[in-house]
Structure 1
Amino acid sequence: MLGTATVGSVALAGGTASAAVATSTKFDLTAPSSELLREIDLQDVRVLQSFSFDNANKHIYTVGLVQEYRQLPGESRQYTNAERSANGDLVVTRLDLTGAEIGRMYLKGFGHGVSIAAEPSGNSAYLWTETDAVAETDANNNTNGWGTKLARFKFANGAVLTTGSSQLTKFSPVSGADRTTVAIDPVNSRLAVRYRASNVFKFSLYDLATFKSGTFTPLATVTQPTGSAYSDFQGFTSLGQYLYMIDGNAYTYANNTTTTPNNPDGNTYITRIDWNTGSVSDRQLTKAGQSLYYREPEGLAIQIPDTSNMAACRLVMGFASENSATDTDKMASLYYKSSLV
């Protein structure tokens, strides 16, 4: 296993570090969406935060916060939802492509689960997540743990890892950054990293093999777009020349007895950003999963249904959902776009 990679710091200015990303096709964000999985149960009942595909082994990995009163091995007591959130305690669920659960593990003190990435290895995968969470209280007085570094570790069914576990390889690509999360471009073997530096969110793109060796030289760096048009950031992924970002909120309802949202179109948007220029090349409202009772966007990932045809990819959107106002256990639903232009 590689040693802990904390070498060097990379000074990243706003905008693009270098126009080093080859021209590629892009997902047509105006194309209709298709359903992949609807209302799948995960290991714990809190909101899906993000997901990733092991395309080689046909597995899906999801991550969310540990549910209330789940007592893990080695723990002396049960913890509330608020305590789990503040500590950054996560649960990873491994699914097959039908949505059946085929494994799970727990990560204590890692972060909020903003993004997870799967790197296939044999018949399993190495997972990339945030780690070394630091608690931060927002304007609504909610306290969450957010990762300050990245971790890579082999999925191990039933395992409970802490930030000090020997199975982890840690990476700190940007000195002084926090809110550090990761996604993989599985076609081009690249790693996209989102982080906050000097209170500004940025994304950097790296060659995966070079990054794992401890050399953190980005192919490109862009600043996350902001403004009144953007609501809550909910995830990102990358394919070729383009970075994709999802933002939005759950539907709101007039009361707990209706299934008609106040805003039936929702406010979930997919944004496409050119790695070489940092500019937004398209931004579209998505109505995927519009019939879900509860519908909160949670994560983006690239799926390759047939690895013998790497050019046929899907941009998959995740949504947290629930059955009704009286049954609030959260489930996961996945929808995708596959039209490349």
Structure 2
Amino acid sequence: MTHDRLSRPSRRSLLAWSGAGALTAAGVSAGTGTASAAVHPTPGSALLVPSPRLDLNSASDNWIRQKPTRDTTIIQSFGYDNANGHIYLAQVTQSGLKLPGEPAPVSSADRNRHGDLTITKWDMSGNTLGYMYLRGFGHGMSIGVEPVGSKAYLWTETDGQEVQDPVHPSDPTKVTSRGRRLARFPFVDAQVLDYGSAGLTTYQPVPGTSTYTASVDPVYGRLAIRFRDTDGAMVFQVHDLDLARLGIWSQPLANVREPDITAVPGWPLTTYGRPFLQGYAVVGRYLYLLHGNSYGSTQNIGGQDLVVSPPGVGNTFITSVNLATGALDPAPPSPFKETVNPAHTAAAYSLDYREPEGLGVLVPDPDRPGDFRIGMGFASGVAGARVATVYGKAGLVQPS
């Protein structure tokens, strides 16, 4: 697979990412590449050819509803192993657990501060098949799943650092964790994996940057990463997955700054506030963003505390960004219309609590990888007994 000539996805993207053919086509010898830092290509450099785009206003279907995960905390993200038919979900480890090497049960505040995560492995119906604990990794806002044969390798943040909780920006006692590096490792059932463990492969694609997360494009065989750049801006890059695995970050296919959806002309700030980014996914030329807050969330808008995510309605939006230009695509109309881009979604509106959490790319048939779906994750249930739900969109707009 050459990363500037690919016009359509292939089954190889799903099942044979580890092959040397893509590396040779990209001018890199398999097994001999050395790590190199990412550069920033100019948006519009045409490294990404036209590809299908999700119809943001297509129907949202109930795929999995209110299923438990290993822990009882809110899920943060999820990803599909399309080759083997599994789903992996990330969440902050729950309070009260005593894992190997810990002298006593650990509180939820300390799990948050330290960046301890729990990974749950589901089948495609939401039944738990296994779990894994990650200590010192981060918050888990997005994870990537890379199938290799019958195994799944996960791409996550790691080297968690303590940061102010963005949900409580004015309360110094509320802290959480974000990873300063990326990690790639195999899912191993019941394993407890620590940052710094022998054999854990980690990367820092751009020196001096932080707040890393990742997502795998299973259709085109790419890795999307998000990080805080040296100037403080949040940036998305897309890399060939084969090169990323070798630690070669000097040939990004796309580099765009994270858009502010509330900057869209006519954005109804007093109605929906400033929705939090809750997940992202990439397929081909398009980046998809999921924003929103839990039901009942309030924000100070113009000096008033307003409910920005009313129960039964919410402020969940899905947005598509053209990675070749960095612009929202389709372009938002003026005046603002919430059925275009960003598009408001009422998926799973009847859930209690209902907080959007993560995007995942589903490929139902590996022989037809171009026929993909986008799943949207939601947390619900009461504190101490959270459950996970996935609704999905299947409508695609073909390139003209």
Same fold, judged at TM 0.5 (above) = yes
- Correspondent of 2:36 among 4, 8, 11: 8
Match of 2:192 in 1: 160
Segments of 5+ residues of structure 2 without an aligned counterpart are 1-17, 19-29, 268-273, 299-308, 330-340
Amino acid paired to 1:203: F
Alignment of 1:138-177 (within 5 A): 138=165, 139-141=169-171, 142-177=174-209
> Secondary structure in 1 aligned to 2:113?
helix
The separation in 2 between residues aligned to 1:292 and 1:140, in whole angstroms, is 29
Identity over aligned pairs, percent: 39
Contact 2:37 2:248 in 1 (8 A): no
The separation in 2 between residues aligned to 1:227 and 1:51, in whole angstroms, is 23
Match of 1:187 in 2: 219
Match of 2:316 in 1: 268
Q: Deviations over 1:31-67 (max 9, x none)?
A: 1100110001000000000000000110000000000
- Correspondent of 2:256 among 197, 222, 246: 222
Contact 1:191 1:205 in 2 (8 A): yes
- Correspondent of 1:286 among 333, 336, 345: 345
- Aligned pair 1:244/2:323, yes or no? no
The separation in 1 between residues aligned to 2:176 and 2:58, in whole angstroms, is 36
Contact 1:87 1:133 in 2 (8 A): yes
Amino acid paired to 2:389: S
Matched residues, number:
330
- Aligned pair 1:30/2:86, yes or no? no
- Correspondent of 1:209 among 213, 233, 242: 242
Match of 2:360 in 1: 301
**Superposition RMSD on alpha carbons, in Å?**
2.0
User: What TM-score, normalized by structure 2, do the two folds share?
Assistant: 0.79
The separation in 2 between residues aligned to 1:101 and 1:200, in whole angstroms, is 37
The separation in 2 between residues aligned to 1:9 and 1:208, in whole angstroms, is 15
Match of 2:388 in 1: 332
The separation in 2 between residues aligned to 1:137 and 1:54, in whole angstroms, is 33
Structure showing greater Rg: 2
Q: Deviations over 1:79-118 (max 9, x none)?
A: 1111100100000000001111100000000000011111
Contact 1:301 1:316 in 2 (8 A): yes
The separation in 1 between residues aligned to 2:311 and 2:181, in whole angstroms, is 37
4+ runs deviating over 4 angstroms: none
User: What TM-score, normalized by structure 1, do the two folds share?
Assistant: 0.92
The separation in 2 between residues aligned to 1:243 and 1:28, in whole angstroms, is 13
How far apart are 1:167 and its partner, in Å? 3.6
Amino acid paired to 2:259: P
> Secondary structure in 2 aligned to 1:147?
strand
Amino acid paired to 1:10: A
Contact 1:154 1:167 in 2 (8 A): no
Q: Deviations over 1:176-224 (max 9, x none)?
A: 1111100010010000000001210010000000111221121110110
Segments of 5+ residues of structure 1 without an aligned counterpart are 255-260
The separation in 2 between residues aligned to 1:298 and 1:108, in whole angstroms, is 21
